[in-house]
Amino acid sequence: MIDHVSLDVRDLEASKRFYAESLAPLGYEFLMEYGGHAAGFGSDGKPDFWIGDRGEPQSGVHVAFASPDRATVDRFYDTALAAGATDNGPPGLRPDYHQQYYGAFVRDLDGNNVEAVCHLAE
């Protein structure tokens, strides 16, 4: 099981705002800052997604966040676009993954592929 994931970003403050807005529909929130160079997000009080500005930002990393239902995937997508993401695949079924795979994909401020996915039937 993965405990946490971390991405380097170019602009910590801009990315902090982006992720706080984009992940809110999924129940994630900004939880803490560490050393002025990292920000942790999570649900239930535990940061399991981190961003930081100490290294060279990666581009093209894929991070998928679990969604409780398809409507939340839709809200994630709309909210992320409003926060500055670019489209990388609108909400919809992806039956080539499996019959109930419902996901939406956006590119974050550094070009990473961020997804919300629901594996449940509607």
Whether the predicted pLDDT of 4 surpasses 80: yes
The partner residues of 39 in beta bridges, in order of sequence, read 33, 51
Cβ atoms of residues 61 and 49 within 8 Å: no
Domains of the chain, start order: 5-118 (3.10.180.10)
Question: What confidence tens digit (pLDDT) does each residue in 65-114 have?
Answer: 999 999 999 999 999 999 999 999 999 999 999 999 999 999 999 999 99
